[in-house]
Amino acid sequence: MRLGLSLSLAALAAGYVVNEDRTCTLYPESLQNDGQPVDDAPSIQKAFELCGTDGKVVFAANHTFNVNSVMNTTNLLNCDVSLRGELRFSTDIPYWLSHSYSVVFQNQSTAWLFGGTNVTFRGEEGGWYNGQGQAWYTQNRNQSNQPGRPISITFYNSTNLLVDGLTIIQPQFWATFVWQSKNVSITNFFVNATSNDEWGTVNTDGYDSWNSDTLLVENAVVTTSDDCIAVKGNTTNLLVRNVTCHWGFGMAIGSVGQYPTMPDYVENVTFEDVKCYNCMEAAFIKTWQGVPEDDSSNGDGGGGGRGLIKNVVFRNFELTNVALPIQISQCIYTENGQNCNTSKMAIEDITWSNIKGTSRYNIVASLYCSDVHPCPGIKFEDVEIQSVNHTLGLPLSDTTLQNEVYQCTNLVDGSGIPCNRAAPSNYGQVVTSNVKDDASSTESSRDPIVEAKKKEQEKLAYMH
């Protein structure tokens, strides 16, 4: 299709698309509307209709594209996408709350469904995605999942998808979500979710995956107040490599086990070469309790789901001032710590290897497995973490425990873990103080099974 004909099509579609030799180049509507932020979503959709099969879509450099409505650019085939301008999503919160596409999981939705077979999506020449998330952070007021608050971009039903050089600033919710896909690589990836007022950026995960296989996340920098990388149910064969996380919750398996009718299996996951600066957690696993509840602190009810987390490796981590470096929790969202010893999720063969650095408090690890499914094959190899005060030669405040704390309950055939206290069943994700001493405790036993049987120790020193 030659230039003149393509411009006629663009005019009919109220879009600004130049199509030549199966390459559709997009220019913003504002160029034809006195600089006004006219919605570019229709012309973007048109470009993918024209060039989404055996073609190329280019967002022209040095331009701002205003996205004021939802986009579905799926079922692409042999398509290359070059983002060279700014994609600026509107802050019309009522619109997005009522129009975002459902992604099924946790009653969530997305602003953009993207995907296909043999597709590349590249951020080039300074191109980036601007979610204008501050409006959402302020509106949400530190609450959790809000129906309709959109994930920035969801890679859906894709096979052989490469996303390279994508930069997302101020995501509305999760930055990216990989759903029902296979062989998806996200490389040279940058996310920054920061708030400029008193409200935090809750639920601004950098990357999440669900029901997907053979995945790669490599060379990423994520700044957020939530999970930098989170692995949801039925994610298998994932490699996460060379990631730097600022302020968030690090590398997470979970949450899983939310839905009784949808078993979760997470297998063959490796996180390696990770740096966490000032994070709340670094390398952890979180599951729901085994008894369903109608509501939770995560904004959505759940629990009672079955499944397995197996063969997970956290390797080569550098930690700086991390509040809770290592955790297994099987009661992550239950209100008031109820039914925490009921999780139906099995956890086995998990290794933390070469994990070094500093913790904010005296807690290195809290590893709790439920009575229903004690955890076999939990291993530490070269885990060397000291509290910041310890490294400075200063005493720890508000506690008589001056050595690092390793809490363990219901571990089977574990190795390399210097367990010195029992892990409470309802130990939270957010740690804000040192583990305190308790006259009823005994730190002489190093056997996690023995520790688990001492039920009175589950009352010991925990933070909500």
pLDDT at 158 over 60: yes
Closest CA to 147 of 258, 295, 299: 299
SS3 content of the chain, % helix, strand, coil (to 5): 15, 45, 40
Q: How confident is the model at residue 16 (pLDDT cuts 50, 70, 90)?
A: confident
pLDDT at 8 over 90: no
Range of the domain at 416: 289-464
pLDDT at 308 over 90: yes
Span 186-190, average pLDDT? 98
The values of phi and psi at residue 15, to 5°, are -125, 165
pLDDT at 336 over 50: yes
**Cα–Cα distances in angstroms (integers) from residue 76 to residues 8, 81, 158, in the given order:** 24, 10, 9
Question: Can you give the pTM of this predicted structure?
Answer: 0.91
Could you say which of 187, 202, 226 is where a domain stops?
A: 226
pLDDT at 457 over 90: no
In a domain, 102, yes or no: yes
pLDDT at position 107 is 86
For residue range 376-434, list pLDDT tens digits in order: 999 999 999 999 999 999 999 999 999 999 999 999 998 999 999 999 999 989 999 99
Query: Same domain, yes or no, for 207 and 303?
Result: no
Closest CA to 49 of 32, 29, 74: 74
pLDDT at position 45 is 97
Question: How far apart, in whole angstroms, are the C-alpha atoms of residue 316 and residue 137?
Answer: 33
Q: Which residues, including other chains, have CB under 8 Å from residue 252's CB and lie 6 or more apart? A: 227, 229, 230, 231, 281, 284, 285, 286
For residue range 166-182, list pLDDT tens digits in order: 999 999 999 999 999 99
Calculate what percentage of the chain has a pLDDT beyond 70: 89
We report the CATH number of the domain holding residue 102 as 2.160.20.10
In a domain, 257, yes or no: no
Task: Say if residues 267 and 243 touch (Cβ distance below 8 Å).
Answer: no
Helices (H), ranges, 123-211: 134-140
pLDDT at 453 over 70: no
pLDDT at 462 over 70: no
Query: Same domain, yes or no, for 339 and 423?
Result: yes
Question: How far apart, in whole angstroms, are the C-alpha atoms of residue 284 and residue 329?
Answer: 8
pLDDT at position 335 is 60
pLDDT at position 297 is 65
**Cα–Cα distances in angstroms (integers) from residue 112 to residues 68, 329, 352, in the given order:** 11, 32, 36
Could you say which of 194, 226, 258 is where a domain stops?
A: 226
In a domain, 311, yes or no: yes
What are 160's two structure tokens?
A: 């052989």
Could you say which of 186, 205, 226 is where a domain stops?
A: 226
Cross-strand partners of 23 = 20, 56
Query: Same domain, yes or no, for 295 and 213?
Result: no
Residue type, 109: S
In a domain, 430, yes or no: yes
Span 138-149, average pLDDT? 92
Residue type, 303: G
Query: Same domain, yes or no, for 203 and 315?
Result: no
Closest CA to 282 of 368, 202, 232, 222: 222
In a domain, 416, yes or no: yes
Higher-pLDDT residue of 43 and 450 is: 43
What are 280's two structure tokens?
A: 């709340």
What are 128's two structure tokens?
A: 């980036």
Query: Same domain, yes or no, for 326 and 194?
Result: no
**Cα–Cα distances in angstroms (integers) from residue 277 to residues 37, 243, 328, 360, 434, in the given order:** 38, 11, 20, 11, 19
Query: Same domain, yes or no, for 142 and 10?
Result: yes
In a domain, 248, yes or no: no
For residue range 196-222, list pLDDT tens digits in order: 999 999 999 999 999 999 999 999 999
What is residue 441's DSSP assignment?
-
Task: Say if residues 119 and 181 touch (Cβ distance below 8 Å).
Answer: no
What are 104's two structure tokens?
A: 């099924």
Higher-pLDDT residue of 411 and 294 is: 411
Residue type, 420: N
The catalytic site residues sit at: 226
Total domains, the chain = 2
In a domain, 34, yes or no: yes
pLDDT at position 294 is 79
Query: Same domain, yes or no, for 202 and 294?
Result: no
Q: In which region does residue 291 sit, left (phi positive, over 0), alpha (psi from -120 to 50) or beta (all else)?
A: beta
pLDDT at position 13 is 37
pLDDT at 5 over 60: no
In a domain, 195, yes or no: yes
pLDDT at 288 over 90: yes
pLDDT at position 56 is 98
pLDDT at 463 over 80: no
pLDDT at position 9 is 41
Span 309-329, average pLDDT? 98
Average pLDDT, the chain: 90
Cross-strand partners of 423 = none
pLDDT at 14 over 50: no
Q: How confident is the model at residue 440 (pLDDT cuts 50, 70, 90)?
A: very low
pLDDT at position 439 is 39
**Cα–Cα distances in angstroms (integers) from residue 389 to residues 11, 167, 312, 394, 438, in the given order:** 66, 36, 31, 5, 21
Task: Say if residues 186 and 214 touch (Cβ distance below 8 Å).
Answer: no
What are 221's two structure tokens?
A: 């920098």
Tell me: cis bond preceding 255? Omega within 30 of 0 counts: yes
| Strand ranges for 388-429 from DSSP E | 405-409, 411-412
pLDDT at 352 over 90: yes
Exposure class string for 137-170: b at 16+ Cβ within 10 A, else e: beebeeeebbebbbbbbbbbbbebbbbbbbbbbb
Lowest mean pLDDT among 118-122, 225-229, 297-301: 297-301
